[in-house]
Amino acid sequence: MQVISNYPWYYFLICLPVGLIFSGILYYKNKKNVEKNSALLISLSLLRFLSVSLIVFLLLEVFIKYLINETEKPTIIIAQDNSNSVIAGKDSLDIKSNYVKALNDLVAKVKEKYDVKIYQFDSESKPTETFDFKGKETDISKVISDIEKNYSNRNLGAIILATDGIYNKGTNPLYNITKINAPFYTIALGDTTPIRDVWIQSINHNDVVYLGNTLPIEVVVNATDLKNKTINISISNNGKIIKTESININNENYTKIFNYNIEATQAGMQKYTVSLTTIAEDQNIDNNAKSFIIDVIDNRQKILFLANAPHPDIAAIQESINSFQTYEIDVFLMSEFTKSLKPYSLIILHQTNNIPQRILDEIKINSQSALFIGLNPPLNLFNFSVTNSVAKLNDAEPSFNKAFTLFNLSNELKTDLKEWPAVKANYTPINISNNSNVLLNQKIGVIDTENPLFVFTENNGVKVAGFFGDGIWRWKISDYYNHENHELFNELINKVVQYLSVKADKSFFRIFTKKVMNENESLDFTAEVYNQSYELTTDQDVTITLKDENNKSYNYTFSKKQAMYSLSAGQFPAGEYKYEAKTKLGDKVYSKSGVVIIKEMVAEKMNTLANHRILYQIANESGGKMFYKNELQQLQKEILQSENIKSITYTHKKLIDLINLKWIFFLILILFSSEWFLRKRNGSV
């Protein structure tokens, strides 16, 4: 123990004199009474001397530093696999009853000596002491990472990992065990005996396709111990078979990839199911069918490209836009175009020095977005101004403006822009409006100028953009030269077109949710309500009704959170759910409806063959051992008798301010109280 203070040691020498002075001054006037009651006067003086000296001592900020020894018992983590594959074998009843009872007995015995923490895991992990084995996915690496995160600075004695070794989510758990300085004792569950089985391993497909387009599908089929058997594979949409063929399994470990092209003939969320016929020899028929959801879109956005004359820029931009299925582009010479602009989401004008007034009027009437590419911008379209009506041309390289906020470009594109070649640009100073956003400025030689090369603005609420240059095709060639593809150039064009073509939602009531989700996810909604001034408001109630495929209804009311509404409806079984949300704004009722598809999780049904090899590797590489479910007694003995699982004693310093000690407060209180009592009892000596 050590006494320390913020003041020099000689300050402590004044504590006693100060106490003596206070005591002497108070009782000096009573010196004549010393002969008749000297003992009382001395006692009172002593009490005052001690209390004042102690208070002065505390005012010197005295601390006591001493060492504390704390002993931490080892923590034993028990991580139990709670996924459905654990009870998929013949021993499911034995695991649910006998094994769970034996595990509880193990926990009770180990708790007598160590701290025990129990976790269950499937796709996530959480502390619990009960298991229902209903998990839809298994992520062993996740529970190991959670243990490492929560117990990295603790006395972790051992980890008991009970699982069948099957994981269908996350990484290989062997990659994670090296981060934990503790042995793994694994309990091997499940059946390792191969069964005769044919199953769909995976289906690869696009999530979105446009109405009338072809949807490519890749199906991987596996089979074990079913050589010379014949089955049929079929693809159905809403119960109607659209593709089918016969499969001859020609070896014991069969794997084959099947490729199909399906016409998207119906718009909306479409459910497709790939099925394998059931044969008597197949011992696991739960993995013979697999469904997937495709969003078939029938409103591909149309883009109009009007040019003054043929130009390489036209082909470069057209090919880039065509690489994205979301757009359809029509190209015309300005002099030949006589149609209406109304069907188009975006109008691109290329080097059009004299835009017909009909085109400008229709763009404004339809509130259509426009992109101008050329050296002489139409000022009546942009509301810009120039200092000189005669264009000054110069070679300018693109320079990314870090203050640009309308959309994000990848770091690769921002870096590669510096290597793109110069284009012919209009160097005549252009005075842009305050609400403009500059994407690219002109770089002349090594000087970054503030003259815009690519700028975005709004004109009466309509999005307008201008590229004030000529030769954008050079950027596409440069991208291919550097990377042997056009991905970065296409990214730039796609981001520009996407921003300009997206129409702002002007509705007063809006609902947001996922279109497709898994059955182990919570079905969440958010809603926004706007008043007539387009200000967010939460004065109204928002309700929603969900209906499943059997027309069963579920009614909810949204919670209000600041300027929006939210609802977490929880998890629902797989299926199609229609929803209709309503709110009342003034005297008018607004409603929004839609469909949510909840997909069944079938990962645990696809593979039920236990993988005990990985459990042996985890135990062996971490310094532990593997046990089977009927060997929990041996595991208990191993844990309790291990010499490596020990308590740890930590020694650390502790600093205490004496003024915070309660007993010193009460000591001072007793000294003052005793003095007061004696003075009062003896007539205030």
Nearest in space to 134 (alpha carbons), one of 573, 550, 546, 626: 573
Residues 6+ apart with CB under 8 A from 285: 278
Q: Which residues are registered as beta bridge partners of 516?
A: 597
Cα Rg of the chain, angstroms: 40
Place of tokens 């883009």: 303
Instruction: Tell me what pLDDT residue 474 has.
Output: 94
Q: Which residues are registered as beta bridge partners of 597?
A: 516, 576
Assign domain 301-501 to its CATH architecture.
Answer: 3-Layer(aba) Sandwich (3.40)
Q: Which residues are registered as beta bridge partners of 217?
A: 205, 260
Query: CA–CA separation, 12 vs 56, rounded Å?
Result: 9
Class of domain 74-191+615-641: alpha beta
Two domains, one topology: 197-297 and 509-599: yes
Residues 6+ apart with CB under 8 A from 51: 19, 668, 671, 672, 675
Split the chain (685 residues) into runs of 10 and give each run's mean pLDDT: 76 81 73 60 81 83 79 91 87 88 93 93 90 90 92 90 91 89 94 86 85 87 91 90 92 92 86 90 87 81 90 92 84 89 90 80 85 78 56 85 87 90 81 80 87 84 85 92 90 90 81 88 93 86 94 94 91 92 91 90 80 94 94 93 85 78 85 81 64
Residues 6+ apart with CB under 8 A from 529: 508, 509, 536, 537, 538, 540, 542, 565, 583, 585, 590
Nearest in space to 296 (alpha carbons), one of 358, 389, 205, 375: 205
CATH number assigned to the domain covering 509-599: 2.60.40.1930
Query: CA–CA separation, 217 vs 263, rounded Å?
Result: 11
In terms of Cβ atoms closer than 10 Å to its own Cβ (0-12, 13-18, 19+), residue 267 is: middle
- Do 588 and 507 contact (CB within 8 A), yes or no? no
CATH number assigned to the domain covering 197-297: 2.60.40.10
**The pair of three-digit structure tokens given for residue 632, joined into one six-digit string:** 């929990």
Give the other-Cβ count within 10 Å of 603's Cβ.
Answer: 20
Q: What is the phi/psi pair of residue 107, to 5°?
A: -60, -45
Query: CA–CA separation, 27 vs 41, rounded Å?
Result: 7
pTM of structure: 0.58
Query: Strand 208-210 to strand 240-248: parallel, antiparallel, or no bridges (unpaired)?
Result: unpaired
* Three-state secondary structure call for residue 530: strand
* Three-state secondary structure call for residue 130: coil
- Do 310 and 284 contact (CB within 8 A), yes or no? no
List strand residue ranges (DSSP E) for 541-574, in order.
Answer: 542-547, 553-557, 559-561, 564-568
Q: Measuring CA to CA, how many Å separate 620 from each of 186, 298, 599, 623? A: 10, 57, 38, 5
Instruction: Tell me what pLDDT residue 24 has.
Output: 77
Q: Measuring CA to CA, how many Å separate 570 from each of 95, 518, 541, 580? A: 29, 12, 20, 17
Tell me the domain boundaries of the chain. Answer: 2-68+655-681, 74-191+615-641, 197-297, 301-501, 509-599
**The pair of three-digit structure tokens given for residue 235, joined into one six-digit string:** 């693809």
Query: CA–CA separation, 575 vs 597, rounded Å?
Result: 6
| CA 70 to centroid of chain Cα atoms | 39
